[in-house]
């Protein structure tokens, strides 16, 4: 990969081993106080989760500040943005934010970056460019960025948010791997094929712990509605063979069932294993409940018993 001083180059296999097979992905943490987030991180660590992923969407806590809070409030867990938007800061700010956390918390911060979405960029007052070309240019800017900070003991791993084949190929070329989000199982083998065997494939998987189909789909559909309206995600589903009718009207039941795992612990664990069996190195589970501020600690505890070794 083209070098960025202190960022990337860890290697996909090394990163996969560091992340472990199962992690946590949480919107809820950003809604909590710093003290409450620290308590949640302590519990995730106690349960055995080695990585915790956080968002950077419109209205989120700023992702480097947020990651710093979580790293300071925990002892061992890796914290990874899923993802840091390249439209939220310039390449030098991105590179040096990552370097600062990498120096303070060696081997505990992973930089996940992405091109975000045209509506979100417009709301920031920006202009959305061609995703792959824009990301390539941004990576070049990061590689040229000056840094006055100390030399890192080891590089900060770098993952790119990637859905389509061209961005996946760029992730294989310029990063340690890829972080696909809001994807059905059939995306995982396609992503692995595009990446090749070396890069790390860290897949987000949304889930609802409920055996009631109506309840699970209601919670899942409320979550999916936003993503189905975004061209990047809708087009990715169409590329995988889903019809316009499936994507329309907040998603058909069949589509909701494909992108959001629901059921009891065994059913959700089975979906996690399906991603792993098809080429994922790491699956970060995003448990959704009635409240977007609920970190779902009880649910993660149930899943830990099924997915993590004591």
Percentage of the chain lying above the pLDDT 70 cut: 98
pLDDT in tens, 56-110: 988 889 999 999 999 999 999 999 999 999 999 999 999 999 999 999 999 999 9
Let me know if residue 288 belongs to a domain. Answer: yes
Let me know if residue 220 belongs to a domain. Answer: no
pLDDT at 129 over 90: no
Let me know if residue 233 belongs to a domain. Answer: no
Q: What is the 3-state secondary structure of the chain?
A: CCCECCECCCCHHHHHHHHCCEEEECCHHHHCCHHHHHHHHHHHHHHCCCEEEECCCCCCCCHHHHHHHHHHCCCCCEEEECCEECCCCCHHHHHHHHHHHHHHCCCCECEEEECCCHHHHHHCCCCCCCHHHHHHHHHHHHHCCCCCCCCCCCCECEEECCCCHHHHHHHHHHCCEECCCCCCCCHHHHHHHHHCCCCEEEEEEEEEECCCHHHHHHHHHHHHHHHHCCHHHHHHHHHCCCCHHHHCCCCCHHHHHHHEEEECHHHHHHHHHHHHHCCCCEEEEEECCCCCCCCCHHHHHHHHHHHCCC
Give the model's confidence band at 124: pLDDT under 50 very low, under 70 low, under 90 confident, else very high: confident
CATH assignment at residue 182? 3.20.20.30
**Domain range enclosing 275:** 12-205+262-307
pLDDT in tens, 201-225: 999 999 999 999 999 999 999 999 9
Which whole number is the average pLDDT over 136-163? Answer: 96
Average pLDDT, the chain: 95
Let me know if residue 271 belongs to a domain. Answer: yes
pLDDT score recorded for residue 134:
97
Domain total of the chain: 1
Which whole number is the average pLDDT over 36-52? Answer: 97
Let me know if residue 231 belongs to a domain. Answer: no
Let me know if residue 106 belongs to a domain. Answer: yes
pLDDT at 115 over 90: yes
Let me know if residue 214 belongs to a domain. Answer: no
Give the model's confidence band at 309: pLDDT under 50 very low, under 70 low, under 90 confident, else very high: low
Which whole number is the average pLDDT over 139-148? Answer: 95
Let me know if residue 280 belongs to a domain. Answer: yes
Give the model's confidence band at 275: pLDDT under 50 very low, under 70 low, under 90 confident, else very high: very high
pTM above 0.75, yes or no: yes
Give the model's confidence band at 310: pLDDT under 50 very low, under 70 low, under 90 confident, else very high: very low
pLDDT score recorded for residue 2:
55
pLDDT at 295 over 70: yes
């Amino acid at each position: 990969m083209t070098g960025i001083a202190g960022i990337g180059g860890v290697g996909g296999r090394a990163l996969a081993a560091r992340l472990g097979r199962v992690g946590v992905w949480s919107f809820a943490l950003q809604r909590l106080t710093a003290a409450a987030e620290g308590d949640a991180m302590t519990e995730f660590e106690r349960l055995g989760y080695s990585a915790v992923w956080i968002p950077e969407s419109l209205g989120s806590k700023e992702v480097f500040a947020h990651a710093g809070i979580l790293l300071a409030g925990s002892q061992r867990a890796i914290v990874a943005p899923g993802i840091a938007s390249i439209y939220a800061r310039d390449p030098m700010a991105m590179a040096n934010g990552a370097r600062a956390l990498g120096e303070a918390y060696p081997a505990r911060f992973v930089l996940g970056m992405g091109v975000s979405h045209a509506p979100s960029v417009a709301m920031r007052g920006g202009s959305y460019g061609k995703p792959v070309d824009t990301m390539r240019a941004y990576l070049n800017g990061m590689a040229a960025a000056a840094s006055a900070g100390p030399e890192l003991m080891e590089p900060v791993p770098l993952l790119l948010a990637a859905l389509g084949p061209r961005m996946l190929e760029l992730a294989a070329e310029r990063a340690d791997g890829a972080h696909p989000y809001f994807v059905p199982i059939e995306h995982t083998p396609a992503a692995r094929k595009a990446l090749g065997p070396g890069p790390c494939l860290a897949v987000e998987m949304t889930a609802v712990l409920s055996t009631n189909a109506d309840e699970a789909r209601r919670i899942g559909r409320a979550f999916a509605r936003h993503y189905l309206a975004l061209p990047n995600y809708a087009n990715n589903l169409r590329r995988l063979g889903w019809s316009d009718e499936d994507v329309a009207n907040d998603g058909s039941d069949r589509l909701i069932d494909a992108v959001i795992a629901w059921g009891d612990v065994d059913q959700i664990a089975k979906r996690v294993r399906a991603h792993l069996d098809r080429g994922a190195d790491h699956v970060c589970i995003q448990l959704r409940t009635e409240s977007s501020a609920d970190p779902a600690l009880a649910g993660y505890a149930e899943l830990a018993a099924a997915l993590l070794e004591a």
